[in-house]
Amino acid sequence: MPLSIYKRGEVWHYRGTVQGELLRGTCGTTEQAKARRVAQNVEQQAWAIALAGPRCATFAEAAMLYLDARKSARFLMAVATYFKETPCDRITPEAARSGAIATYPFAGPATRNRQFITVTQAVINHAAALGKAPQIRIKKFRVPKVEKDYGTYEWLRLFIQSADSELAACYALMFFTGARIGEVMNVKLRDVQWKEQRIRIVMSKVGGDERFPHMPKALAKLLQRLDKTDPDAPMFMFANRSAAQKRAARICKAAGIKYLSPHAMRHGFATGLLHRGIDPVSIARLGGWSSPLHVLGTYGHSRDDETIPEILCSGNL
């Protein structure tokens, strides 16, 4: 029913319903004419909100919803600082691309995609799933395809021969499980399940989901050499990922082998299995990738062997 006014003591109040929602409050005046105008304004505003639908979340609010759902906070601060209180329905794909350039003016397209475009889209679409914002789809910057280095078993053997026990076990863990360096640095002794031959990995890119990759005997032997006794102690004591990379670079230089980054081990996990005929669906599941297509498109490498067609021959024709 329309809002009506009534007197309580000397002050006028209003009450009534708009679209089934009960509204009541003080008009803040002792004059009846002013009270009617206040009630009319309240009713008009209520109808405007009811007809327009629920208010769209700002990016700051959407970011908090994202964090409340235990999603990854990596790179989120820079994006949230750029958009601040901008309503999500005013963030267009063009605005997101402009924001990526403004936030990372000297970065390449891959960095802008990973650290701004992907984050923006993930935060807004999470809010959209909660009914707080419209869905958004942002065209990413074109990234020229570059063949990346990847680890091989042969390279890992040479590296382990020259590396200290901690770095040798770290690189082997990434190579045999497909774990990222950030995930490996969070592994504690209690995460290593010796009897079951598996390791608990908390995946940093999917909001803390867990996976339990198999632990080959060769990897178990390297981890045992670390001689850890405290269940809550980290298996690896690097100050940060940069420190691990610098140590690895020094070892490679001293050993006379090509330097490969920690991520090249995760790369080698996928590429090595692909080259051995393991299907992308299995590799994605084992290594914690969200899509088999991503595994195939990112980690598939052509083998430099012209005799490969020989495998088609099972005998004489």
pLDDT tens digits, one per residue of 51-104: 655 678 999 999 999 999 989 899 999 999 999 999 999 999 999 999 999 999
In this prediction, residue 22 carries a pLDDT of 86
CA–chain centroid gap for 283, Å, is: 19
Please provide the average confidence, as pLDDT, over all residues in the chain.
90
Helices (H), the chain: 32-52, 59-68, 76-83, 93-103, 109-112, 118-129, 153-162, 165-177, 181-184, 217-224, 241-255, 263-275, 280-287, 292-299
Q: Is the pLDDT of residue 316 over 60?
A: no
**Cβ neighbours of 76 (radius 10 Å):** 18
pLDDT band at 300 (very low <50, low <70, confident <90, very high): confident
Question: What share of the chain in percent tops pLDDT 90?
Answer: 71
Q: Which residue has the higher pLDDT, 22 or 155?
A: 155
Provide CB contacts within 8 A for 158, sequence distance 6+: 255, 257
First to last CA, the chain: 89
At 131-189, the pLDDT tens digits run 899 999 999 999 887 778 899 999 999 999 999 999 999 999 999 999 999 999 999 99
CA distances from 264 to 147, 180, 245 (A): 12, 10, 11
The domain segmentation of the chain, as residue ranges, is 4-52, 59-129, 153-299
Mean pLDDT of 189-195: 95
**Cβ neighbours of 9 (radius 10 Å):** 7
Beta bridge partners of 21: 18
3-class DSSP assignment, residue 116? helix
Nearest-angstrom CA–CA distance, 141 and 137? 13
CATH architecture of 153-299: Orthogonal Bundle (1.10)
Nearest-angstrom CA–CA distance, 249 and 260? 8
Q: Which residue has the higher pLDDT, 42 or 116?
A: 116
Q: Taking the model in full, what pTM does it have?
A: 0.59
**Cβ neighbours of 96 (radius 10 Å):** 23
pLDDT band at 297 (very low <50, low <70, confident <90, very high): confident
Helices (H), 54-204: 59-68, 76-83, 93-103, 109-112, 118-129, 153-162, 165-177, 181-184
Tokens coding 116: 């701004």
3-class DSSP assignment, residue 107? coil
Mean pLDDT of 222-234: 93
